[in-house]
Structure 1
Amino acid sequence: MPASPLLFNSISKHTATVIFLHGLGDTGHGWSQPVSAIFRKDLGLSHIKWILPHAPSVPVTANFGLTMPAWFDITSFDFSTGEDEDGMLRTVSYINQLISAEVDSGIDPGRIVVGGFSQGAAMSLLCGLTNERQLGGVVSLSGWLVLRSKIKAMCSSHATSNSIFWGHGTADPLVKFDLGKDSVDFLKNTLGLPEAPNAAGATTLKGITFKAYDGLEHGADLQELDDLAAWLKKTLPDSPPA
């Protein structure tokens, strides 16, 4: 069982929650600085509580079997061989426990965003697309879509109504940009998710907002965090639930 998550409580009245999963070999603490920066820079997000979970330590095949924090086993870093479906589903079950705790505390599912970086992004996508609840949105930073041979059958009836923010660096040497873009194309062409409206005055961001970051490697930069903050302000606006 993973350790208790790192929490960033809302500064103002708590009306929305972001659950954000770190990447392979990291912990929730690895994302505490970016989250702090978002809070300091934009009081329009002060109503959001952030939950930064820690993955359990497991042997990772692609890293010579070394034990490290991981949401599931990775057999190869080209992501083309067998997938650890059992590990993925255990993680989705754990994320759903965190979501349920927020709902039980009074937060509407539509005011909850699940997101992550790299391996955590892959899990946020799987959770969001298959969730029995209609969540507020999904964030994928440097991620990819897993279980492609099964995901269509696994998707919930409202999967195509998801709001997804997808950011990816063009120079990513690990989760390559082409894999991310191909995953986005799969979401659009096979699963039927639309592109989100890109007009400045758009009142909804239903669909996929995809942003490429020229020269960015496997990480996040200030522009990506600013774009994420802007997306969150539209997806989880500072207003009490209806």
Structure 2
Amino acid sequence: MSRLAPLVFPAAGPRHTATVIFAHGLGDSGHGWASAVENWRRRQRLDEVKFVLPHAPVIPITVNMASLGGSAESLRGNEDEAGLVESRDYFQKLVQQEVDNGIPADRIVLGGFSQGGAVALFSGLTSLVKLAGIVGMSTYLPLSLKLESTYIPKPASANVNAQTPIIMCHGTVDPVLPFQLGLLSKDHLVKLGYPVEWKEYAGMPHSAVPEELDDIEEFLHKVLPPSGGGKTEL
């Protein structure tokens, strides 16, 4: 897949000690989340954080609403496994670029909205390096039936993200990726032992609201606290 270079927001302060890589949803681009990043930068709680917003090619994640029936079977049947793996590899490449530039992997967060959130969850849970956190907004856990058997690093001691903090946010009236699907994904992760912080927003469709963006900011501030170290931005 050919990709445009990501949209990059350097750390707002004089030090760059952490990075957030955040992927957009279907039909959008990295520019669609620029205003959220700019708002976080204005509030000056994430001054040491660089934001990387990839422009992803389309990954066909579709939901047959008529046959979903609360089981998510139709969604699983439409998952593009090869595309998800390729996108995971691209996320890992972006992480490695940050590591090569001096940012420890455990100061890097993967996140995303909708299909971007699905890729972020899958990429973070299967990462071979320890991350600071994972953010999933209005999304679900892809390849859930194969996650443990095929993609989670083995043995258990190699699963370096087994205790990596995860936040999942979902609107109660989402018509694209239903609320119940997000809830089932959260429950599945909890059953596997992952620490998931769940946030739900009454009346929110397939979008984001200020309260949710505040919750994401709080999560990022918690998992990427100011360190005072890092490299000076020019």
- Counting aligned pairs with the same residue, the percent is 42
Q: TM-score, normalised by structure 2?
A: 0.88
1:115 equivalent in alignment to 2:117? no
Q: Which amino acid aligns with 1:112?
A: I
The offset of 1:102, in angstroms, is 0.1
The offset of 1:11, in angstroms, is 1.2
Q: Distance in 1 between matches of 2:86 and 2:76?
A: 21
The offset of 1:152, in angstroms, is 1.0
**Contact 1:112/1:135 (<8 A) preserved:** yes
Q: Which amino acid aligns with 2:129?
A: R
Q: Distance in 2 between matches of 1:19 and 1:75?
A: 23
Q: How much is the aligned-residue C-alpha RMSD, in angstroms? A: 1.3
Q: Distance in 2 between matches of 1:14 and 1:77?
A: 43
The correspondence of residues 40-189 of structure 1 with structure 2, limited to 5 A, is 40=42, 42-56=43-57, 70=58, 72-78=59-65, 79-153=75-149, 154-156=151-153, 157-189=159-191
3-state SS, counterpart of residue 87 of structure 1:
helix
Structure 2 residues without counterparts, runs of 5 or longer = 66-74, 154-158
Please list every run of at least 4 consecutive aligned residues from structure 1 whose deviation after the TM superposition is greater than 4 angstroms: none
1:8 equivalent in alignment to 2:9? yes
Structure 2 equivalent of residue 210 of structure 1: 198
The offset of 1:149, in angstroms, is 1.5
Q: TM-score, normalised by structure 1?
A: 0.85
3-state SS, counterpart of residue 116 of structure 2:
helix
> Which structure has more RCO (C-alpha within 8 Å, separation ≥ 6)?
2
The offset of 1:77, in angstroms, is 4.2
Q: Distance in 1 between matches of 2:30 and 2:48?
A: 20
Q: Distance in 1 between matches of 2:112 and 2:63?
A: 20
**Contact 2:76/2:143 (<8 A) preserved:** no
The offset of 1:239, in angstroms, is 0.7
Q: How many positions carry a matched residue from both structures? A: 213
Q: Distance in 2 between matches of 1:214 and 1:76?
A: 22
The offset of 1:75, in angstroms, is 4.8
The offset of 1:20, in angstroms, is 0.2
